[in-house]
Structure 1
Amino acid sequence: MYSILDIETTGGKYNEEGITEIAIHKFDGHKVVDKFISLVNPEREIQPFVVNLTGINSKMLQSAPKFHEVAKRIVEITEGTTLVAHNAQFDYRILRTEFRRLGYNFERKTLCTVDLAKLLIPEAESHSLGKLVRSLGIPVSDRHRANGDALATLKLFKVLLNKDLNKTIIHEVTRAETLGELSQRQLRIVDQMPSETGVYYMFNKDRKIIYLGKSKDIKKRINQHFTSDTETGRNLQKETRKVTFELTGNELVAYLKVHEEIKRNPPKYRVNGDDLALLPTPNGKPSGQKEPFRLDGKNVMVVDKGREIGERSAVLIKNGQVKGMGFYELNHQINNLHILESILTPVNGGVEVIKQVELYLTYRKVVDIIEINSPN
C-alpha cells in the first residue's frame, strides 16, 4: 500500500518552512482507495517567489485548517503505507518537521520517484516532474499545486511499476524510515557549526579525516551532507563522529586551504566538485562577460575580508604563481615581500589553481589588489 504525497510550502530557511497545501492519494497498486487534499494555514509568512510559483497566498489560507487540525487525518491515511513522492526526501522532511513541532514522531518508509525514474528511465533528458511526465505523454494540470503534482506523481508511479519487470528495484531504493532526518549525534554536530565561510573536516571513529570541503555556510553544508542520498552522503552519515572547521572570512582562502589540505591529508572519500571548486558554474565560468584578470608574471597581494573585525586575509601572487595565504592585522606592514612571505602559509598552486584564482578575481569583488615590491 502506498501514499502518493505532494506538499507545497512557504519556502524560507531550512527546517523553518511551513506547509501551505497537502495532497495524499492512498494507492493499493491498482487503484486509489482513499485521498486527502487540503490547504493548510502555516502560521508563518509565505515567500514571494512561492506565491508567484503556486498562486497560494496568505489571504487564501486565513480560514484554512492549521496543521494540528489535519495531523490525525494524515497519520490515519498513511498508516501502514510507504510514502511515494517526487524528491521524497524533501516532502518527508517537511512532514516530519511539522509533526515534531507537535511533539509527535512521524515515521514512514519512503520511495522517491526521482530515484526510480533514474533507474528505470535512464534515457530521459530530465527527471524533473514536469519535464519527465511530459516526455512520457502523461497529462498534467495544476502544476505546483499539491493535488496536481500528486496526481502527476501517481500516474508516473504507475508507469514505473509497469517498467519494474524484475520487481527488485523498489526494494532496493526503499529508503530507511529516518532518511532525511538527523540523529541526535548529527544534530549536536550541526548545532556546533557556524553559518560562516570556511573549511570543514569530517572525522570517523578512528579520528581519520574521511571528507573535507569548503562552504560559504558551513552549518548548512554539513546539514546537507547528513541528509544527502548520494553514496558518499550515506557513507558520511554512517561514519562521521566529529566535524571541525576553520573560518577563512572568504571563499578564496577557503579554496586554497582545501587544495593544500587534500594534498597533505587526502580524505577517504573523493571531494565533491562544489566543495572543492572556487566557482562551481556551468563550463567553469559564471554568466556575464568581463575583462579577464590575468596573473601572468604579476607580483601582487590579494586583500580580502578576514575572520574577524580588524583582520584581513592575504593571498600572495609571486611571478604569476600563487605562493602563500594567511591573515594579518590591519596595522601590519604589507608592502614588503620579505615580511609578507614570513607571515603566510606556503601554497604550491598549479595550473588549475591559477585558473580558478583568475576567474575569482575576474568575477568576485575583493577588498584590494596591491602591487608589491619585486623580489629582485
Structure 2
Amino acid sequence: MYAIVDLETTGGQPTQDRITEIAIYVHDGEKIVDEFSSLLNPGQAIPPFITQLTGITNDMVRDAPKFHEVARRVVEMTEGCVFVAHNVRFDYSFLKKEFADLGYNYSRKTLCTVRLSRSLMPGLPSYSLGKLCQSIGIPLENRHRAAGDAHATALLFGRLLKITQESEELPHGQDTSHTLARVDALAPAGKKPSARRVAAVQQAIKTALLPPLITPEKVASLPQATGVYYFHNEAGDVIYVGKSINIYKRIQQHFAVDVKSRKSLEFKNSIADITWELTGSELVALLYESHLIKLLKPAYNRAQRRSVFPAGIYLRTDEQGYKRLAYGRADARNAEVPIIALGNQFKAQGFLYHKVAKYNLCQKLCGLYKTPGACFDYQVHRCQGACLGLEPPESYNQRVDEAIDSIRYEHETFVVIGPGRSELEKTIVLVENGYYRGFGYVDETFSARRIQDFREVIQPYNDNKDTQQIIRQYLRTKRKGERVKVFG
C-alpha cells in the first residue's frame, strides 16, 4: 500500500513554518482506495506571497482544525504504507516535525516520484509536477493546493507502476522499452511481470534519500578515504565543496538529513554529479577546502567564501615603550603586515575589544577610546592605568604579548608532516614566520633539514584568517601519523 501525500505550508522551513493544508490518497498499487484532505490552522500568519501562490488565506484557515486534531487520522491512513510524494523529503520533513512537536516519532519508508520518474521516463524536459503531468498527459487541477497536487501525484504514481508492467507509448512518441529492459534486470529471472513492479518500487524506496540525478552506483563508487568532494549541477558547475576523513560516509550523511528549507531541497535536487580529490591528511583537506571555496565561490557554500580580508590587527610601540594593538585597513596602501587579517574593520574592532577585555589592556592605547585623559576602563577599575603612565610598560607589555600569543601560533616557523594519499607518500604543510605558505606531497623517503627544502616541495597558497584558525585549532589535538617539525 502507498500513501500519496501533499502539503501546503506557510513557508519552506520545517523548523519555523507550519502546514496549512494536507491531502492523502491511499493507493493499493492498482487504484486509489481511500482519500483525505483538510485545511489546517497553522497557528501563525500566512505570508502574502504564499497566499498568492496557493490561494489559501488566513480567513480560510481560521476555523480549520489544528494539526493535532488530524494527527491520528494521518497516522492511521499511512500506517503500513510507503510514504510517496513529489520531492518526498520536503513533505516528509514537515510531517516529521509536526509529529515531533507532539512528542511522536513519525517514521515511514519513503518513495520520491521525481526520482522514480527520472528513472522510468528519462529525457523529459522537466520533472516538476506541473510540467511532468503536462508532458505525459495527466490532468492537474487546483495546482498548488494539496488535494489537486496529491491527486495528480497519485495518477502519476499509477502511471509509473504501469510502466513497470507493460510497454506503453508515451505522448510525443517516447518509447519506454529501454526502461522496461532496465526494470527487468532488477527482477529475478522467471518471475511474472509483477516482480518488475516490486523490484522497481523497492529500488525507489532504497534510493529515496538520494538526489534525483544521483545513481546508487555513483554513491557506491565514493572512496572511504580523506579528501575534498565536489557537487556539480547538470551544467557541470561546482555548486558545493566539502571535506571529510571518509568521503563516502559524509556524503551519505548529506543525503540522509531531513530537508530544512526549500533552498536545501533545491540544493539536493540540483546535484547531478559528484567528484573528489583525495588528500590523505585531514589538515590538508581542511586547508584545500577553504582555498577551493574562496576560489570557486560555490552557490551553496556560505562559510569561508571571503577571499579578501581588508582589515587586520596591528602591533606598534609608542615613544614611552608601550606596545599598542590597533585595528585598521589591511591592503596594498598599508605596508604593515597584520598579526591577523579580518573581514572588515567592524569585525577587527570587535576582535580587539574582545582581546582588551580578556587581557585587561587599555582601550585608549588600543585606539578604542578617544580621550586626552584616562580611558573608560580605568574609571571602572578594569585598566591598570597605562593610559596615564601609571602602569609601567614592562608589566603592560607582558599582557599584550599574551594577547598576541593567543592569536599567533606557538612557534613562528614549523612544518606539519602527515599521512599522504598512499602508504608511499607524506603531506607537508608549511608555516613560516607565522604565515601559512602552502602544502605539498612528498615521497615517504623524503628527508629535509633546512626550511628551504620544504619551501621547494609545497604548492603556495594564501594565508588568511580562515587558514590561521584551521591550523591553530588542528594543532590543539594530536593526530595519528602526524608530527610537527619546528625551526628556530
Deviation (angstroms), 1:90: 0.8
* 1:118 matches 2:118: yes
Higher relative contact order (CA 8 A, sep 6+): 1
Count of aligned positions? 253
Letter in 1 for 2:201: I
Q: Which amino acid in structure 1 is aligned with residue 156 of structure 2?
A: L
Q: CA 1:311/1:69 → structure 2, altered by over 3 Å: closer, same or farther?
A: farther
Deviation of 1:347 (Å): 6.5
- How far apart are 1:12 and its partner, in Å? 5.2
Determine whether 1:103 maps to 2:100. Answer: no
- 1:60, CA displacement in angstroms? 1.0
- Give the 3 Å change call, closer, same or farther, for CA 15–313 of structure 1 in structure 2: farther
- Assess if the C-alpha contact under 8 Å between 2:227 and 2:280 holds in 1: no
Counterpart of 1:265 in structure 2: which amino acid? Answer: V
Distance 1:42 1:121 in 2: 37
CA distance in 2, matches of 1:74, 1:105: 13
Kept after mapping to 2: 8 A contact 1:2/1:27: yes
User: Whole-Å Cα distance in 1 between the matches of residues 312 and 77 of structure 2?
Assistant: 53
Partner in structure 1 of residue 162 of structure 2: 162
Name the structure 1 match of 2:296: 277
> Contact between 2:8 and 2:144, CA under 8 Å: does it hold in 1?
yes
Q: Deviations over 1:147-187 (max 9, x none)?
A: 1110111111111112224322211120489x69xxxxxxx
Deviations 1:24-57 (A, max 9, x none): 0111111211111000001123233212111112
1:125-147 residue CA offsets vs partner (Å, 9 max, x unmatched): 11111111111121111111101
SS of corresponding position for 2:35:
strand
Q: Is the 8 A contact 1:5 1:24 kept in 2?
A: yes
Is the 1:110–1:176 Cα contact (8 Å) retained in structure 2? Answer: no
Q: CA RMSD in A?
A: 4.6
Deviation at 1:13, TM superposition (A): 4.0
Q: In the aligned structure 2, how far is the partner of 1:14 from the partner of 1:313?
A: 42
Partner Cα distance (1:25, 1:275) in 2:
47
TM, length-normalised to structure 2: 0.44
CA deviation profile, 1:53-92 (whole Å, cap 9, x unmatched)? 1111211110000000000111111111111100011111
Pair 1:12–1:112, CA change in 2 (3 A) = closer
TM-score where L is the length of structure 1:
0.55
Q: Which amino acid aligns with 1:61?
A: V
Q: Are 1:234 and 2:252 counterparts?
A: yes
Show structure 1 runs of 5+ residues with no match.
Answer: 181-205, 214-220, 239-258, 282-300, 318-323, 333-340, 355-376
- Residue 142 of structure 2 is matched in structure 1 by 142
Corresponding position of 1:245: none
Q: Distance in 2 between matches of 1:88 and 1:61?
A: 24
Distance 1:121 1:41 in 2: 38
CA gap 1:327/1:133 in 2 versus in 1, 3 angstroms: same
Change (3 A) 1:12 1:84: closer
CA 1:237/1:92 → structure 2, altered by over 3 Å: closer, same or farther? closer
- TM-aligned CA distance change 1:128 to 1:96, over 3 Å: same
Change in CA separation of 1:128 and 1:279 when aligned onto 2, cut-off 3 Å? same
The 5-angstrom pairing of residues 223-262 of structure 1 reads 233-234=251-252
- Where does residue 28 of structure 1 map in the other structure? 28
Distance in 2, Cα, partners of 1:58 & 1:114: 31
Q: Which residue matches 1:69? A: 69
State the Cα distance separating 1:233 from its structure 2 match: 3.0
1:265 aligns with 2:284: yes
Query: Residue 469 of structure 2 aligns with which residue?
Result: none
Provide the residue aligned with 2:265 in structure 1: none
8 Å contact kept, 2:311–2:341: no
> 8 Å contact 1:23–1:38 — kept in the other structure?
yes
> In structure 2, what is the Cα distance between the partners aligned to 1:133 and 1:27?
18
Q: 3-state SS of the aligned residue for 1:265?
A: helix
CA contact (8 A) 1:313 1:326 kept: no
Matched letter for residue 115 of structure 1 = R
CA distance in 2, matches of 1:103, 1:129: 32
Looking at structure 2, the residues matched to 210 and 53 of structure 1 have their Cα atoms a distance apart, in angstroms, of: 43
Q: Would the alpha carbon gap of residues 311 and 36 (structure 1) be closer, same or farther in structure 2, given more than 3 Å must change? A: farther
3-state DSSP class of the match of 2:33? strand
Change (3 A) 1:149 1:315: farther
Structure 2 counterpart SS, 1:135:
helix
Contact 1:40/1:66, CA 8 A, preserved across alignment: yes
